[in-house]
């Protein structure tokens, strides 16, 4: 099996950054999905007030903080299934090769 780091989508608190640190395999859309789910404010329709733009609810993380949870203890991770579609595996491999090439070309 591939290196766990390359197959795991995760989020944890970073002391160094003082913020949540998102780690995603080569497919960045997965990281964006996780970020949007946890950190982006949620919009819902304003059925009673008639505001066309709707109402904004706090993000999941802000809601947890407001309820008294310690966000610095937040950890979430999920790994790709070992039988992930071949196309996805190829994409991840090509992306890793591209990133490796970019790293090597840095002065």
Q: Where are the domains of the chain?
A: 4-105
Two structure tokens written together for 9: 């989508």
H or E element in which residue 62 lies: helix 60-66
Residue recorded with tokens 């949540």: 20
Strands 19-23 and 8-14: antiparallel
Q: Does residue 53 contact residue 76 with C-beta atoms inside 8 Å?
A: no
C-alpha–C-alpha distance, residues 43 and 51, integer Å: 12
For position 71, what pLDDT does the model report? Answer: 92
Which two tokens mark 62?
Answer: 């802000």
Pairwise CA distance, residues 65 & 71, whole Å: 7
> Do 46 and 54 touch, CB atoms closer than 8 A?
yes
Mean pLDDT for back-to-back runs of 10 residues, the chain (107 residues): 67 92 80 89 77 78 94 90 69 82 81
What pLDDT shows up at residue 1? 43
Note the pLDDT of residue 52. Answer: 64
């Amino acid at each position: 099996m591939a290196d766990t780091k390359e197959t795991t989508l995760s989020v944890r608190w970073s002391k160094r950054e003082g913020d949540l640190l998102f780690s995603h395999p080569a497919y960045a859309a997965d990281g964006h999905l996780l970020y949007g789910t946890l950190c982006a404010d949620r919009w819902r329709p304003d059925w009673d007030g008639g505001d066309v733009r709707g109402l904004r609810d706090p993000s999941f993380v802000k809601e947890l903080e407001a309820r008294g949870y310690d966000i610095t203890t937040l950890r979430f991770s999920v790994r790709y299934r070992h039988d992930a579609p071949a196309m996805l595996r190829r994409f991840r491999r090509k992306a890793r090769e591209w990133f490796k090439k970019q790293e090597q070309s840095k002065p």
